[in-house]
Structure 1
Amino acid sequence: MKKILVILLLVGQLVYAQNKKAQDTTENELDNVFITANRTKTLRKETPVAISKITAKIIDETKASALYEIANKTPGVVMVNLGNEQHAMSIRQPISYSSYYLYLEDGLPIRPLGIFNHNALLEINQFNLQSIEIVKGPVSSLYGPEAIGGTINLISQKPSFYPEFKFGIQADQWGYKRIQAAGGATVGKIGFHVAGISSLQENSWMAQSDYKKDNLNVRVDYQINDNTRLISNTMVGNYFSDMSGSVNENDFNNRTYTSTSDFTYRKSEALRTRLTLEHEWNLNASSYLTVYHRDNKLGQNPSYSIRWNPVNNPTTATGEVNSNNFKSYGAIGQHTQKFKFWKTTMVSGTSFDFSPVTYWSYLLDLKATLNPGEIGKQTVKKYEIIAEHPETKLANYTADIYNTAIFKQITFTPIEKFIVTVGGRYDAMKLKYDNALDNSSGSKTYDKFTFRAGTNFNPFQEAGFYGNYSQGFAPPGITSIFTARTGTGGNTGIPAEFYYNLKPATFENFEFGGWVSLFENKLNFDYAIYYMEGSNELLSIKLEDNSTDYRSAGKTSHKGIEFGFNYKPTKQWNIRIGGTVAKHKYIDFKVSDKSTDVLQNLSGFEMPQAPRWAGNSEVSYYPNWLPNFRASVEWQLISSYYQDQVNTVKYAGYNLFNGRVGYKFKRIEVYSNVMNFTNKLYAYTVSRGNLTSSQPSYTAAAPRTFLVGIQYNLSLKK
């Protein structure tokens, strides 16, 4: 199947070369301008990576209640909804919570290196988005560590020249409602844009799932002169959510969406502010300097930290309360220089980030009330807190994180239609810490030079190929470093031991791809074929005494094909097909040092939560007979995948259909989204342990949901 797909794509390009007609005035897909892949405005046909752009039109028509509805329209991207805008991600990786993704806001990381959070995108204001650029595969040579599986750059709305204002409300039948407003204008040399949302969820289909979110974004541009501009951007956000957790198999199948806990929660307070000075020296040279500050407080009583032993102590469990707070002070400077020789463009830059962080967590004693069932295969009906132990710290440290980097990239055209891109970056993360649990102080340094080289070959005006080799690396998150080894610390009486010896994970990626536009730009498709290996990945190993140990020793492989197809036969119809076929395997993954365990190494096994197929396709209709009306049907496909590491049980996956309609009458727009149109029973994720007695955990997905909304749009554009 893979070979057939590749052959068809290549044949299509050759057919187009022999039969292409004169170019019309329609904007070509290959003329789309991207910023993320090269840190400067670059045409797609000059970018040797797999990159996709979600435009303002797509964002506006999706009318998403959560970001995953937008991101999943990108081939190769599966952003997993965990409820209340919480999420996991899968881009060239299995569905996971790993720190292999970099989330940017206007090119600046949302989190500092070392403090990755898989839920970071819940802080984003969807009503402030202009576009989204998604780079698939490692771009560590430009953006640094964690830019491995993918990089998502959320690009904010800019001030409009003419006064504009929009206000809207949306709600569904499950107690969700959101109010949103945005507006901006330019007066003289000053332009501004303000956007705010307030979301509320109460009494949903899932128990223990209320949430509230408030976000405000303010941007002010000051045009100092024709060549110099000062930009201020500030975001303030507050978030609080109950955490319902997963459900057992019986409750899932019966659609009994009760929660095993009524005390778990996640809360976030976030402030991000930045000031950027941009200057164009001449037509061939430009620079910018950004200084920024972050202030983030994240508190949790997380459902995923509940520990229950169904064999030894089935009626008791433990939990934890934790708090992770950090501030950041940083700067990034970049200069872009163009030369006539070989049409060369050179991008050079440096960055510095200082982020002091505090983290603590303490123990909870829980009572577990069991559901009736076979001994050893019982499940928990309810957890209750029977004692809190603030004096029993599971973690308690402060750390100062210093991140320093320099980067350079050169793009040149030695021969016509052949573009070469070479780049490199050196990152040094220095960690100074005080660990109260073992009364230790010290420092750690994680540094790495990453390299990237790629070529673009565009033999035809609207078709081309690219290839690249890129490296990536990710230091261990500091919460992993300061996690006490099993059986030490806490109330065990044994001095705590920590993971000061963890190493960064490293990745190598090889990639080939291409794109083509046919029939006067009515049909566009692109593809990417990749192979990536990871080394020193963090894993948990069972020891002889039945305790577990972290090690930086895992090795994995990731290979696949990503493809996107867009066909617009008339102005009334648009057909989009996109997806990926991939395989994620363990090359070397030693899960046990225990001599009595039959299975000690998972080499050759498929990774869990790794669907072979994933796709998102859509048919949109814009009837001539009813201008300003739109309707679309979307199909989301997730194929089967293994629930466990030992590849014994699979989850069947799902096919899901969504529908959207909208109509604009003068300044008023009304719309409705129907999510899970067929009311399918499915789960966002399913996982289980490796024992034969292990029971699956289902992150249940929402039943059929009707979202309705109305929006007022005002523009004084002449």
Structure 2
Amino acid sequence: MYKFVTILIILGQFTYAQNTQKQDTTSTSLEDVFITANRTKTLRKETPVAISKITAKTIDETKASALYEIANKTPGVVMVNLGNEQHAMSIRQPISYSSYYLYLEDGLPIRPLGIFNHNALLEINQFNLQSIEIVKGPVSSLYGPEAIGGTINLISQKPSYYPEFKFGIQADQWGYKRIQAAGGATLGKIGFHVAGISSLQENSWLANSDYTKDNLNVRVDYAITDHTRLISNTMVGNYYSDMSSSLNEADFYSRNYTSTSDFTYRKSEALRTRLTLEHDWNSKSSTSFTAYHRDNKLGQNPSYSIIWSQTNNPTTATGQINSSNFKSYGGVAQHTQKFDFWRTTMVSGASFDFSPVTYWAYLINLSATLNDGEVGKQTVSKYEIVAEHPETKLVDYSSDVYNTAFFNQVSFSPIEELVVTIGGRYDNMKLDYQNAINLSTGEKTYDKFTFKAGANFNPYKEAGFYGNYSQGFAPPGITSIFRLKTGTGGTTGVPADFYYNLEPATFENYEVGGWLSLFENKLNFDYALYYMVGTNEQLSVKLEDNSTDYRSAGKTSHKGIELGLTYKPSTQWNLRIGGTVSKHEYIDFKVSDKSSDVLQNLGGYEMPQAPRWSGNSEVSYYPNWLPNLRASVEWQLISSYFQDQVNTVKYDGYNLFNGRIGYKFKCIEIYGNVMNITDKLYAYNVSRANLTTSQSSYTTAAPRTFLIGLQYNLSLKK
């Protein structure tokens, strides 16, 4: 049974009642204030990037069981649900597990540079979110490497001024349950906010998919003086999930929600704590310093690491058990200075991060039970562990990771209608490593200066335009560098070989966009057109035995149009339409050096898992005849895409509908969500290796799901 997480609360400048007032949900008006794009509070019309805000009202009304339900409401964002809050991402990139996204918690990266994990957001407490800001495109000049496809800043609840408390439960028919509570207040100069969730999944529709998650967030604010504040944030989280396998084509289309393994899992223990000192020197000058610590342990017996070959003893396979652990010690200093001349604002800062990391993985031998079928086209019905071999290490390294950065950005307005922004950042990532597999030690350094320049032009009160050029930079993740190459080391008798030759990826992004607000802010429209070229982008080639080879590609291109519209014709109706059309291609990607191979280079091919169209739209209804009722219908679209890199097989994509309804009576709120209203058979992701004998692998999505919940909200605002 899962634990009940208790929480008192007090503190925050916005009471629950204020947060639930009727307002635009995800609309972005010219007067919206953002923090992420410029590391300081900035109006939308002064921000030369594509940025969206998901408000507290949207988060509250969504009542999401997982973060992807919220993030996907942003045009250009496809957060792919992999089950049990595990996920992949697509923002100006194909659906992938790549390290080209930066995840922030109140402006601070959740993980250090070089230790990216695409599942990092499963550590987030959804009940502690005030808002979410999503920047699309590179912002490496402010936040550093990995801020390329997109940057997601999860902004936590602040202490409320008056005492508040809320408590909720939710459950669905597939064995999912969650208890959540939060509260806060301000007592004199001290304010605090505490939020916790405890989730449990048992006996789901999908085999081998139980999970538990417990998170607790605590924030304490101390107003030392009217101009000086001390803020502490602490997060503690524990997560354990069975890891179901993907399905073959026959099982997928017959809705046989089985798993070829019942022993695979993922578990995580995370601690993040920070202490921030803020001081306002005057109305034009402020300084902050943040010291932080992270402690993260991630252990796995991953289903995706099972290697099986039809041609070489098909009744056997191999897998691995691995563990990745790191601690971080670091600090960020930032100063913001405003000048009267041309209304100039300058943001300058520096950061340092020291993260010792260890990673090991050892071999397990498996037996494979085959389904009946034609030889060469058979599939596996069940894997079982035959033996574990802790003595046979596949990966075994330790590394001290040093990240140092300096950044500066200046914005100024030479004329009333024009705001110009110029910024740059220098990053240096140094690795001191010990590789126990080949008994080597060494040092690797990746460094880069990245630059951006943009301008906003606002000729009218109701409209604005912007353009920008920005650079992105991402060194290879150290997990990829020290991954043993297929066919080397271990029991093969061949000397061990690693990916020491992976190059850092660089990106150049060109972008124009704008926004329009009409009818007293009832209609809001924004758009962005972008073209991004990647050089040495780290990509993977999926081999026939399910293993992965890593390459630094020559060049790739990413281009598209993002559109978002909200229309609120009356207090009763709210329409939101959002989507993107994009194309992701290889310009030059050498995949083979063998003259006997037909395919040498993927130049001109589309990248796999890259739908041309995607979108999320919603109609919400707030009836005047029953003021505390809300109802909405949401439409999610993913168009067809190639499953493989050689563009031979496509997945059709899907159209999906979700519904939500809720009613408040005094302090009580009851709600229900229906996910996948039409019970559509679809997959979150479909992939395939490049050989003609390869078979498709389906990450299947949930059938129709009914979630119900009850929430108690108390605010003692006078």
TM-score in terms of structure 1 length: 0.95
Structure 1 position 349, deviation (Å) = 0.2
Structure 2 Cα separation of the partners of residues 588 and 542 of structure 1:
18
CA contact (8 A) 1:542 1:591 kept: no
Structure 1 position 550, deviation (Å) = 3.9
Letter in 2 for 1:142: L
When structure 1 is superposed on structure 2, of 478-487 and 290-299 the one drifting more is 478-487
Structure 2 Cα separation of the partners of residues 420 and 539 of structure 1:
35
Structure 1 position 591, deviation (Å) = 1.2
CA contact (8 A) 2:542 2:688 kept: no
Letter in 2 for 1:639: S
Structure 1 position 242, deviation (Å) = 0.2
Structure 1 Cα separation of the partners of residues 148 and 221 of structure 2:
33
Corresponding residue number in structure 1 for 2:212: 212
Structure 1 position 310, deviation (Å) = 1.4
Structure 1 position 553, deviation (Å) = 3.3
Within 5 Å, which residues of 2 pair with 1:562-577?
562-577=562-577
Corresponding residue number in structure 2 for 1:676: 676
Structure 2 Cα separation of the partners of residues 535 and 628 of structure 1:
53
Structure 1 Cα separation of the partners of residues 498 and 72 of structure 2:
38
Letter in 2 for 1:534: G
1:670-718 deviation per Cα after TM superposition (whole angstroms, max 9, x unaligned): 0000000000000000111111111100000000000000000000001
Within 5 Å, which residues of 2 pair with 1:509-588?
509-539=509-539, 550-588=550-588
How has the CA–CA distance of structure 1 residues 541 and 135 changed in structure 2, closer, same or farther, with 3 Å as cutoff? closer
Structure 1 Cα separation of the partners of residues 516 and 615 of structure 2:
20
1:378-418 deviation per Cα after TM superposition (whole angstroms, max 9, x unaligned): 11100111111100000101100000000000000012211
Structure 2 Cα separation of the partners of residues 233 and 188 of structure 1:
19
CA contact (8 A) 1:542 1:593 kept: no
- SS of 1:31 mapped into structure 2: coil
1:116-142 deviation per Cα after TM superposition (whole angstroms, max 9, x unaligned): 000000000000000000000000000
Structure 1 Cα separation of the partners of residues 637 and 212 of structure 2:
30
| Matching of residue 117 in structure 1 with residue 123 in structure 2 | no
- SS of 1:250 mapped into structure 2: helix
Corresponding residue number in structure 1 for 2:256: 256
| Matching of residue 187 in structure 1 with residue 178 in structure 2 | no
The alignment of Structure 1 onto Structure 2 pairs a total of residues equal to 690
Corresponding residue number in structure 2 for 1:479: 479
Corresponding residue number in structure 1 for 2:8: none
Structure 1 stretches of 5 or more lacking a match?
Answer: 1-26
How has the CA–CA distance of structure 1 residues 201 and 671 changed in structure 2, closer, same or farther, with 3 Å as cutoff? same
Corresponding residue number in structure 1 for 2:660: 660
Letter in 2 for 1:379: T
1:431-460 deviation per Cα after TM superposition (whole angstroms, max 9, x unaligned): 001111111111100000000000000000
How has the CA–CA distance of structure 1 residues 528 and 542 changed in structure 2, closer, same or farther, with 3 Å as cutoff? closer
Corresponding residue number in structure 1 for 2:238: 238
Corresponding residue number in structure 2 for 1:456: 456
Corresponding residue number in structure 2 for 1:431: 431
| Matching of residue 603 in structure 1 with residue 603 in structure 2 | yes
Corresponding residue number in structure 1 for 2:163: 163
- SS of 2:552 mapped into structure 1: strand
CA contact (8 A) 1:584 1:610 kept: yes
Structure 1 position 614, deviation (Å) = 0.2
CA contact (8 A) 1:542 1:594 kept: no
CA contact (8 A) 2:28 2:52 kept: no
- SS of 1:569 mapped into structure 2: coil
Structure 2 stretches of 5 or more lacking a match?
Answer: 1-26
Letter in 1 for 2:638: I
1:581-640 deviation per Cα after TM superposition (whole angstroms, max 9, x unaligned): 000000011111121111111111100000000000000000000011000000000000
- SS of 1:58 mapped into structure 2: helix
| Matching of residue 382 in structure 1 with residue 395 in structure 2 | no
| Matching of residue 685 in structure 1 with residue 685 in structure 2 | yes
Within 5 Å, which residues of 2 pair with 1:285-364?
285-364=285-364
**C-alpha RMSD over aligned residues:** 1.3
Letter in 2 for 1:411: S
- SS of 1:659 mapped into structure 2: strand
1:200-244 deviation per Cα after TM superposition (whole angstroms, max 9, x unaligned): 000000000000000000000000000000000000000000000
- SS of 1:30 mapped into structure 2: coil
- SS of 1:313 mapped into structure 2: coil
Structure 1 position 554, deviation (Å) = 3.2
CA contact (8 A) 2:567 2:576 kept: yes
Structure 2 Cα separation of the partners of residues 566 and 133 of structure 1:
17
How has the CA–CA distance of structure 1 residues 114 and 132 changed in structure 2, closer, same or farther, with 3 Å as cutoff? same
- SS of 2:245 mapped into structure 1: coil
CA contact (8 A) 2:676 2:703 kept: yes
Structure 2 Cα separation of the partners of residues 449 and 222 of structure 1:
37
Structure 1 position 189, deviation (Å) = 0.1
- SS of 1:610 mapped into structure 2: coil
Structure 1 position 569, deviation (Å) = 0.4
Structure 1 Cα separation of the partners of residues 578 and 356 of structure 2:
42
Structure 1 Cα separation of the partners of residues 370 and 497 of structure 2:
34
Structure 1 position 285, deviation (Å) = 0.2
Structure 1 Cα separation of the partners of residues 514 and 499 of structure 2:
43
Corresponding residue number in structure 1 for 2:470: 470
Corresponding residue number in structure 2 for 1:708: 708
Structure 1 position 486, deviation (Å) = 2.3
Within 5 Å, which residues of 2 pair with 1:358-373?
358-373=358-373
Letter in 1 for 2:273: T
CA contact (8 A) 1:541 1:590 kept: no
Structure 1 Cα separation of the partners of residues 675 and 554 of structure 2:
38
Identity %: 83
Corresponding residue number in structure 2 for 1:148: 148
Letter in 2 for 1:675: M
Structure 1 Cα separation of the partners of residues 620 and 687 of structure 2:
35
Structure 1 position 313, deviation (Å) = 2.4
Corresponding residue number in structure 2 for 1:15: none
1:3-22 deviation per Cα after TM superposition (whole angstroms, max 9, x unaligned): xxxxxxxxxxxxxxxxxxxx
Could you list the runs of 4 or more consecutive aligned residues of structure 1 that deviate by over 3 angstroms after TM superposition?
Answer: 539-543, 547-551
Letter in 1 for 2:390: P
Letter in 2 for 1:706: F
- SS of 2:89 mapped into structure 1: strand
| Matching of residue 631 in structure 1 with residue 631 in structure 2 | yes
Structure 1 position 495, deviation (Å) = 2.6
CA contact (8 A) 2:28 2:53 kept: no
Structure 2 Cα separation of the partners of residues 124 and 318 of structure 1:
33
Structure 1 position 540, deviation (Å) = 5.1
Corresponding residue number in structure 1 for 2:17: none
Letter in 2 for 1:381: S
TM-score in terms of structure 2 length: 0.95
Letter in 1 for 2:153: N
Corresponding residue number in structure 2 for 1:14: none
Corresponding residue number in structure 1 for 2:42: 42
Within 5 Å, which residues of 2 pair with 1:2-13?
none
Structure 1 Cα separation of the partners of residues 109 and 498 of structure 2:
28
Structure 1 Cα separation of the partners of residues 28 and 432 of structure 2:
51
Structure 2 Cα separation of the partners of residues 98 and 245 of structure 1:
20
Structure 1 Cα separation of the partners of residues 114 and 154 of structure 2:
21
Structure 2 Cα separation of the partners of residues 617 and 271 of structure 1:
36
CA contact (8 A) 2:296 2:327 kept: yes
Structure 1 Cα separation of the partners of residues 337 and 507 of structure 2:
30
Corresponding residue number in structure 2 for 1:247: 247
CA contact (8 A) 1:129 1:157 kept: yes
Letter in 1 for 2:76: G
Within 5 Å, which residues of 2 pair with 1:500-511?
500-511=500-511
- SS of 1:69 mapped into structure 2: helix
Corresponding residue number in structure 2 for 1:643: 643
Corresponding residue number in structure 1 for 2:270: 270
CA contact (8 A) 1:619 1:632 kept: yes
Structure 1 Cα separation of the partners of residues 215 and 583 of structure 2:
38
Structure 2 Cα separation of the partners of residues 621 and 100 of structure 1:
37
How has the CA–CA distance of structure 1 residues 512 and 430 changed in structure 2, closer, same or farther, with 3 Å as cutoff? same
- SS of 2:659 mapped into structure 1: strand
CA contact (8 A) 1:213 1:238 kept: yes
CA contact (8 A) 2:542 2:690 kept: no
How has the CA–CA distance of structure 1 residues 465 and 649 changed in structure 2, closer, same or farther, with 3 Å as cutoff? same
Structure 2 Cα separation of the partners of residues 649 and 94 of structure 1:
16
Structure 1 Cα separation of the partners of residues 473 and 317 of structure 2:
36
Structure 1 position 542, deviation (Å) = 10
Within 5 Å, which residues of 2 pair with 1:7-26?
none
CA contact (8 A) 1:244 1:259 kept: yes
